[in-house]
Amino acid sequence: MARIRILVVDDSVVIRKLLCETLSRDPELEVVASAQDGRIALSKIQQLHPDLVTLDVEMPVMNGLEALKELRKLYPKLPVIMFSTLTERGASATLDALSLGASDYATKPSNTGSPELAIEAIRAQLIPKIKALGSAAPPAPKTLPPPVPAIRVRPRSKQPIEIVAIGTSTGGPNALAEVLPHLPKDLPVPIVLVQHMPPIFTRLLAERLAAQSAIPVAEASAGVTLVPGQAWIAPGNYHMTVVRAGLSRRLELNQNPPEHSCRPAVDPLFRSVAEVFRANVLAVIMTGMGSDGVLGCRQIREAGGEVIIQDEATSVVWGMPGLVYTAGQADAVYPLDQLAPEIARRVQQSRIRQAAASSAGAGMESRAK
Strand order across the 281-285 sheet: 217-219, 231-233, 191-195, 163-168, 281-285, 306-310, 332-334
CATH architecture of the domain covering 163-355: 3-Layer(aba) Sandwich (3.40)
Active site residues: 169, 196, 292
Whose CA is closest to 195, among 159, 165, 216, 221?
A: 165
Q: How many CB atoms lie within 10 A of CB 310?
A: 31
CA dist 363 and 111 (Å) reads 69
Give a three-class secondary structure readout of 185-206.
CCCCCCEEEEECCCCCHHHHHH
Looking at the chain, how many residues does it have? 369
Whose CA is closest to 54, among 93, 109, 106?
A: 106
pLDDT at 144 over 70: no
Judged by phi (left if over 0) then psi (alpha if -120 to 50, else beta), residue 329 lies in alpha
Give a three-class secondary structure readout of the chain.
CCCEEEEEECCCHHHHHHHHHHHHCCCCEEEEEEECCHHHHHHHHHHHCCCEEEEECCCCCCCHHHHHHHHHHHCCCCCEEEEECCCHHHHHHHHHHHHCCCCEEEECCCCCCCHHHHHHHHHHHHHHHHHHHCCCCCCCCCCCCCCCCCECCCCCCCCCCCEEEEEECCCHHHHHHHHHHHCCCCCCCCEEEEECCCCCHHHHHHHHHHHHCCCCEEECCCCCECCCCCEEECCCCCEEEEEEECCEEEEEEECCCCECCECCCHHHHHHHHHHHHCCCEEEEECCECCCCCHHHHHHHHHCCCEEEEECCCCCCCECHHHHHHHCCCECEEECHHHHHHHHHHHHHHHHHHHHHHHHHHHHHHHHHC
Torsion sign (Cα): 99, 100, 106, 109: negative
CA dist 149 and 265 (Å) reads 27
**Which CATH superfamily does the domain covering 4-133 fall into?**
Response regulator (3.40.50.2300)
Mean pLDDT for all residues in the chain: 91
What is the model's pLDDT at position 110?
A: 67
- Percentage above 90 pLDDT, the chain: 80
Pairing of strands 332-334, 306-310: parallel
CA dist 161 and 305 (Å) reads 8
Q: Where in the chain is the domain with CATH 3.40.50.2300?
A: 4-133
What pTM did the predictor assign?
A: 0.90
Digit-coded pLDDT (tens) for 253-277: 999 999 999 999 999 999 999 999 9
Q: How confident is the model at residue 112 (pLDDT cuts 50, 70, 90)?
A: low
Q: How confident is the model at residue 149 (pLDDT cuts 50, 70, 90)?
A: low
pLDDT at 222 over 60: yes
What is the model's pLDDT at position 322?
A: 96
Q: Where in the chain is the domain with CATH 3.40.50.180?
A: 163-355
pLDDT at 183 over 60: yes
CA dist 331 and 305 (Å) reads 10
Say how far residue 323 (Cα) sits from the centre of its chain. 14
Q: How confident is the model at residue 108 (pLDDT cuts 50, 70, 90)?
A: confident
Digit-coded pLDDT (tens) for 318-359: 999 999 999 999 999 999 999 999 999 999 999 887 666 665
